Amino acid sequence: MTVLALAAGLGGFLAGVAQSAHPASALAGLARVAALGAVATGPAQTSAGEGGQSATKRPSAPGGAGSGPVRGAALSGTAAGPSSSAASGGPGDDKRAPAAGAAQERIRACDSVPAGYARCHAILTRPAGKPTLVGTVPSGYNPSDLQKAYKLPSTTAGAGQTVAVVDAFDDPEAEGDLAVYRFQFGLPPCTTANGCFRKVAQDGSTNFPRPNGGWAQEISIDLDMVSAVCQICHIILVEANTAAVTDLLAAVDEAAALGATAISNSYGAAEFSLETTFDAHFNRPGIAITASSGDAGLGVQYPAASQYVTAVGGTSLTHATNPADPRGWSETAWSGAGSGCSAVEPPPIWQATNPAITGVCQQRATADVSAVADPNTGVAVFDSFNFHGSKGWLKFGGTSVSSPIVAAVFALAGGVTTYSASIPYARSSSLFDVTSGGNGTCGTILCNAAPGWDGPTGLGTPDGTGGF
């Protein structure tokens, strides 16, 4: 049986699945796909319904989804540009606008947040003017695309590696949605029952926090991207009680305590004066720790600014126009990728000895490496939570996509024995160098792609696992 059966209709697909030996969690998820078409059209959900199947009337906690009729920032087709708050959405954050060049709109899963809280970096791309979107077929790059674009040994490498993703709030459908994604693309099951998947709260218990639709989308991205890149890695989902930086850092500690060999953090907060006192949570040589550089263009966020993490920027990934191109893919810097000089963090030694970086920044500079993040060249994700009026097969971008991809590449490479961020600097020739595009008008490589290191894309994107 193959996923091509989906083209003949969901009814036939489910009938075929019923005869297979697939986990019950996947069957439940696939049944949810069949039910998606029954969702009534109408306005996007209000905050009263943000809990999905376990909806509550509780207001959003800081760092969660907003409470207006349209929650999350709607983005125009242009780069957000510099922002006074690294975790804010920038101008136009409260209005929905179509993306440039097509009848599409891009919507942030997580709203702006106050100081001390982090925002997830998931960005949904969907047809403009559709208050309800039910995706019944995948849209966006799939695992095979990512594996080919980055020349990854995804089916054979990664044995013994565990990738943890740290997020806020609960996605009650996380395991079922993951099963749908993996089944759709022929990936081996990764379930609690077979020991591949584990979901815990920030204290390691199963006392999960309250559900949140925006962060549920983020969770789906993280789990699906790890699965796409490292098919035989084990996966741990650690859910922080809230999006407070202190809760997320407690979740990082728990991920490390549970034996994760790589930890992905697809969120960011505005830098703050005492952030270096929190860096001990990331000071873990021997664990590859990645963090999204941000989605508001030029500007630095925490924890990407930490000298102990691998800050992951973003690119636009497209098929090469020249059929003779040996790679078959082309990348430019994504206009929304975060980059810049930290106002607080000192440079790690591997940056302090890099003349390209010291010529434009005397502090910690972001990013270190990058991967696809442009919502217009986004990835396929399955999420059944029903948030912003959207569920099913969705297309996402943002550096929320690139961080778990790079964390999983570190796992494919066999893990690390030192600080993960230092490795690409010693092996930059084993990366795809991104030399065009930018995320602002700073006039330097802090916002303009160039040969070697630059802010939006760092040293480049994976070319196999040699750079990791």
The answer to whether 292 touches 304, Cβ cutoff 8 Å, is: yes
In a domain, 110, yes or no: no
Instruction: Give the three-class secondary structure for 33.
Output: helix
Residues 204 and 339 in one domain: yes
End-to-end CA distance of the chain: 36
Residues 188 and 305 in one domain: yes
In a domain, 64, yes or no: no
Residues 18 and 160 in one domain: no
Domain range holding 28? 3-36
In a domain, 368, yes or no: yes
Residue type, 386: N
Residues 301 and 180 in one domain: yes
**Candidate from 9-13, 67-71, 230-234, 442-446 with smallest mean pLDDT:** 67-71
Specify the pLDDT at position 30: 58
3-state secondary structure 378-428: CEEEEEEEEECCEEEEEEEECHHHHHHHHHHHHHHCCCCCCCCCHHHHHCH
Residue type, 132: T
Question: Residue 237 forms beta bridges with which residues?
Answer: 165, 199
Q: Give tens-digit pLDDT for 383-419.
A: 999 998 999 999 999 999 999 999 999 999 999 999 9
Q: Give tens-digit pLDDT for 110-166.
A: 988 999 999 999 999 999 987 889 999 999 999 999 999 999 999 999 999 999 999
C-alpha angle 416-256-314 in degrees, rounded to nearest 5: 60
Q: Give tens-digit pLDDT for 22-45.
A: 445 555 555 665 555 544 333 332
C-alpha 17: how far from chain center = 29
* % of the chain at pLDDT higher than 70: 78
Q: Mean pLDDT throughout 54-61?
A: 31
The answer to whether 242 touches 63, Cβ cutoff 8 Å, is: yes
In a domain, 194, yes or no: yes
Specify the pLDDT at position 129: 85
Residues 262 and 401 in one domain: yes
In a domain, 437, yes or no: yes
Under the banding of pLDDT at 50, 70 and 90, the label for residue 72 is very low
Q: Mean pLDDT throughout 229-236?
A: 98
In a domain, 130, yes or no: no
Instruction: Give the three-class secondary structure for 442.
Output: coil
For residues 468 and 465, what is the distance between their CA atoms, to the nearest angstrom?
Answer: 5
Gyration radius (Cα) of the chain, Å: 20
**CA neighbor of 312 nearest in space, from 333, 294, 297:** 294
Q: Give tens-digit pLDDT for 198-223.
A: 999 999 999 999 999 999 999 999 99
Give the count of domains, the chain: 2
In a domain, 405, yes or no: yes
C-alpha 72: how far from chain center = 16
Residues 333 and 191 in one domain: yes
- Residues whose CB falls within 8 Å of the CB of residue 102, separated by 6 or more in sequence, listed in order: none
Residues 307 and 175 in one domain: yes
CATH of the domain at 290: 3.40.50.200
pTM for the whole thing? 0.84
Mean pLDDT taken over the chain: 84
Residues 9 and 147 in one domain: no
In a domain, 341, yes or no: yes
Specify the pLDDT at position 399: 98
DSSP string of 304-336? TTSTTSEEEEEEEEEE-SSTT-SS-EEEEE-TT
Q: Mean pLDDT throughout 460-468?
A: 98
- Residues whose CB falls within 8 Å of the CB of residue 117, separated by 6 or more in sequence, listed in order: 62, 63, 87, 242, 243, 244, 245, 269
Residues 161 and 27 in one domain: no
